[in-house]
């Protein structure tokens, strides 16, 4: 694993050493200075015969904002489910705020914004303000209503029925629900998946402000650009293991992705964003560029998606070269996809 913690970014930006290529060193799971907000020690989690997390070691300091990055199926959602006590490890231990995940959640110290599938995850037939008030009653010491509304930027949405929200607006409301209990620690699983570019920017502005209050934030994403812009530290997971750990600027220098470029008459950005291995999508007219951690898997998924395209071109370093840079191994591991 590449450990880049010595080049940890501060509020003033990346340290000078972050501009140099990282060296490969032994993995470190300990947080320097004080007790961690969360800790994984040798965690194993299986789904049948498939190993989703393979002796995962991870620690996040209190007040830190950390992005969990990796291709689809890398183990990001499983990690968050374990941290929320929704799953139990088959081996190893998980600690959240000095106690078990379930106890931390029961104490109202943890907030979460999880993926919801095709729906918004919000109760239908009620107005946003009423839904938020209902959630607040579940906590012993919720954050003040007006403060939660301000933090989430939903003042203009309070009177709107939840079923009439756009994708980006629904995500804002779900964020308000996640922080209604005034949590010390917040988990976000692909929080901008349904948002357009402007909604994403607005959401991350809110997140930065929330983190500046001293909260600990862990968010799973497959957007390298978002991770770099928002997180103090980026943890890259592949096949259930941490393969790199450090500031986003340094990781981008170490993780060289491939770009899959083609022309499409009607590019669907949201569909393309969900293709296997894709970390970012750029659409300029009919020209499409996909940043991918597994170009072969992305191309196979593109063909299966029935998207009409022409002029396919793949450029840049491959996934195998990226894994060599990150792990010091002679070759990348098999690129199986976890559930």
The bridge status of strand 2-3 relative to strand 241-246 is parallel
- Confidence at residue 256, expressed as pLDDT on a 0 to 100 scale: 53
Per-residue pLDDT of the chain in tens (339 residues, 90 and over written 9): 555 544 333 333 333 333 233 332 223 334 444 579 999 999 999 999 999 999 999 999 999 999 887 777 788 889 989 999 999 999 999 999 999 999 999 999 999 988 765 556 788 889 999 999 999 999 989 999 999 999 888 999 999 999 898 888 888 899 899 999 999 999 988 888 767 777 788 888 888 888 888 899 999 876 767 777 788 998 888 888 888 888 766 665 555 568 899 999 989 998 999 998 888 899 999 999 998 878 899 999 999 998 999 999 998 644 344 434 553 444 443 433 333
- Confidence at residue 39, expressed as pLDDT on a 0 to 100 scale: 96
CATH of 256-327, one of 3.30.70.980, 3.40.50.2000, 2.102.10.10, 1.10.3720.10: 3.30.70.980
Q: Whole-angstrom Cα distance, residue 80 to residue 187?
A: 7
- Confidence at residue 167, expressed as pLDDT on a 0 to 100 scale: 80
Q: What is the domain partition of the chain in residue ranges?
A: 2-109+184-253, 256-327
- Confidence at residue 335, expressed as pLDDT on a 0 to 100 scale: 39
- Confidence at residue 284, expressed as pLDDT on a 0 to 100 scale: 92
- Confidence at residue 197, expressed as pLDDT on a 0 to 100 scale: 77
Q: Whole-angstrom Cα distance, residue 323 to residue 123?
A: 43
Nearest-10 Cα torsion for 65, 66, 71, 73: -100
The bridge status of strand 65-69 relative to strand 287-292 is unpaired
Q: Which helix (H) or strand (E) holds 284?
A: strand 278-284
What CATH code would you report for 2-109+184-253?
3.40.50.300
Name the residue among 34, 35, 52 with its Cα closest to residue 43. Answer: 52
Q: Whole-angstrom Cα distance, residue 314 to residue 323?
A: 18
For residues 4 and 244, the answer to whether their CB atoms sit within 8 Å is yes
- Confidence at residue 204, expressed as pLDDT on a 0 to 100 scale: 84
Query: What pTM value is reported for the model?
Result: 0.66
The backbone torsions φ and ψ at residue 135, rounded to the nearest 5 degrees and listed phi first, read -65, -40
C-alpha of 15 from chain center: 23
- Confidence at residue 2, expressed as pLDDT on a 0 to 100 scale: 53
- Confidence at residue 289, expressed as pLDDT on a 0 to 100 scale: 92
Q: What length is written for the chain?
A: 339
């Amino acid at each position: 694993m590449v450990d880049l913690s010595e080049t940890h970014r501060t509020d003033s930006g990346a340290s000078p050493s972050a501009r140099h290529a990282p060296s490969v060193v032994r993995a470190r799971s300990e947080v320097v200075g004080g007790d961690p907000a969360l800790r994984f020690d040798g965690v194993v989690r299986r789904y049948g015969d498939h190993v989703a997390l393979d002796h995962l070691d991870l620690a996040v300091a209190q007040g830190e904002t950390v992005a969990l990055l990796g291709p689809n199926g890398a183990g990001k959602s499983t990690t968050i489910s374990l941290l929320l006590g929704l799953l139990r490890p088959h081996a190893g231990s998980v600690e959240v705020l000095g106690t078990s995940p379930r106890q931390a959640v029961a104490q109202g110290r943890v907030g979460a914004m999880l993926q919801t599938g095709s729906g918004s995850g919000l109760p239908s037939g009620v107005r946003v303000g009423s839904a938020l008030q209902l959630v607040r009653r579940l906590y012993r010491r919720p954050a003040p209503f007006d403060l939660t509304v301000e933090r989430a930027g939903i003042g203009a949405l309070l009177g709107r029925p939840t079923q009439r929200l756009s994708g980006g607006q629904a995500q804002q409301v779900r964020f308000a629900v996640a922080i209604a209990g005034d949590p010390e620690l917040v988990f976000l699983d692909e929080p901008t998946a349904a948002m357009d570019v402007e909604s994403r920017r607005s959401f991350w502005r809110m997140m930065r402000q929330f983190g500046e209050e001293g909260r600990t934030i862990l968010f799973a994403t497959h957007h390298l650009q978002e991770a770099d812009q928002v997180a103090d530290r980026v943890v890259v997971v592949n096949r259930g293991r941490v393969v790199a750990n450090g500031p986003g600027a340094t990781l981008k220098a170490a993780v060289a992705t491939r770009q899959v470029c083609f022309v499409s008459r009607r590019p669907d950005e949201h569909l393309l964003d969900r293709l296997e291995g894709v970390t970012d999508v750029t659409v300029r007219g009919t020209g499409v560029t996909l940043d991918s951690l597994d170009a072969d898997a992305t191309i196979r998924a593109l063909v299966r998606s029935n998207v009409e395209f022409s002029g396919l071109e793949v450029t840049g370093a491959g996934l195998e070269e990226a894994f060599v840079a990150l792990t010091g191994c002679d070759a990348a591991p098999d690129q199986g996809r976890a559930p």
